[in-house]
Chain A
Amino acid sequence: MASSGISALDELLGDGYPDRSTILVASQPVIAKEVLGYWFTHSGLVQGDFCLYVTRLAVRDVLQDQKSFGVDSGQKIPLWIAGEGGQLKYDLNDLATLSFNIKEAMKKNSDRRIRIVMDVLSSLLMLNQPETMYRFVTQLFADIKQYDAVLLATLEDGMHPVPVVTAMQQLFDGIVELKMYEEGLRVIPLLRIPKMRGGRSQPGYFNFSFSKAGMEVSAFVR
Chain B
Amino acid sequence: MLGNGALQISYTSTVDLAFWVVPWAIALVVFLAAAMRALVLRRVITVRLRRNQALGIGLVAIGMAWFALNLLLPLPSQLQSGTSGDIYFVFQIVLPFLVFFYWVDASVLSSRRVDPLMRDSFGWSRVRKWVWALIAFCLALGIVGTIVLGDILQVTAFSVNSPISGSATLIILGAPFAGGLILLPVAAKRSGDPAIRFHLRWFAYFAGSLGLGVALVVLTGFPPLWSGLWIVSGYCLYRSVGSLVVVSRLPSDLAARGNRGP
Do A and B share a complex?
A: yes
Complex alpha-carbon distance, A126 and B245, angstroms = 20
Could you mark each residue 42-74 of chain B with 1 if its beta carbon is under 8 Å from any beta carbon of chain A, else 0? 011111101000000000000000000000000
Complex alpha-carbon distance, A158 and B260, angstroms = 28
Chain A residues bordering chain B, tally (CB within 8 A): 40
Flag if A30 contacts B194 (CB, 8 Å). Answer: no
Distance between A65 CB and nearest chain B CB, rounded to angstroms: 8
Complex alpha-carbon distance, A28 and B243, angstroms = 12
Distance between A13 CB and nearest chain B CB, rounded to angstroms: 11
Flag if B46 contacts A35 (CB, 8 Å). Answer: yes
Closest residue to A186 on the B side, CB-wise? B40
Mark the stretch among A15-23, A38-46, A104-112, A175-183 that contacts chain B: A175-183
A202 lies within 8 A of chain B by Cβ: yes
Mark the stretch among A143-151, A165-173, A214-222 that contacts chain B: A214-222
Closest residue to B45 on the A side, CB-wise? A30
Complex alpha-carbon distance, A119 and B194, angstroms = 19
Complex alpha-carbon distance, A123 and B262, angstroms = 35
Complex alpha-carbon distance, A56 and B117, angstroms = 9
One of B114, B117, B248 near A156 (C-beta < 8 A): B114
Closest residue to A185 on the B side, CB-wise? B40
Which applies to chain B's interface (DSSP): helix, strand, loop or mixed? Answer: loop
**CB within 8 Å of B: which A109-140 residues:** 122-123, 126-127
Closest residue to A27 on the B side, CB-wise? B46
Give the interface size class of chain B.
Answer: 20 to 34
A206: chain B residues at CB < 8 Å are 259, 261
Flag if B192 contacts A28 (CB, 8 Å). Answer: no
- The residues of B with any CB-CB pair to A shorter than 8 Å are 40-41, 43-48, 50, 113-114, 116-118, 192-195, 244-250, 254-262
Which applies to chain A's interface (DSSP): helix, strand, loop or mixed? Answer: mixed
Flag if A30 contacts B248 (CB, 8 Å). Answer: no
Complex alpha-carbon distance, A56 and B114, angstroms = 11
One of A68, A159, A179 near B194 (C-beta < 8 A): A159
Distance between A158 CB and nearest chain B CB, rounded to angstroms: 6
Other 12 A-B pairs with CB < 8 A, given A221-B258, A221-B260: A30-B45, A122-B192, A156-B192, A158-B195, A158-B246, A185-B40, A187-B40, A200-B262, A206-B261, A219-B259, A219-B260, A222-B258
Complex alpha-carbon distance, A126 and B117, angstroms = 10
Closest residue to A126 on the B side, CB-wise? B116
Closest residue to A69 on the B side, CB-wise? B46
A62: chain B residues at CB < 8 Å are none
- A180 with B193, Cβ < 8 A, contacts A28-B245, A187-B247 known: no
Flag if B254 contacts A205 (CB, 8 Å). Answer: yes
Distance between B103 CB and nearest chain A CB, rounded to angstroms: 16
Distance between B115 CB and nearest chain A CB, rounded to angstroms: 9
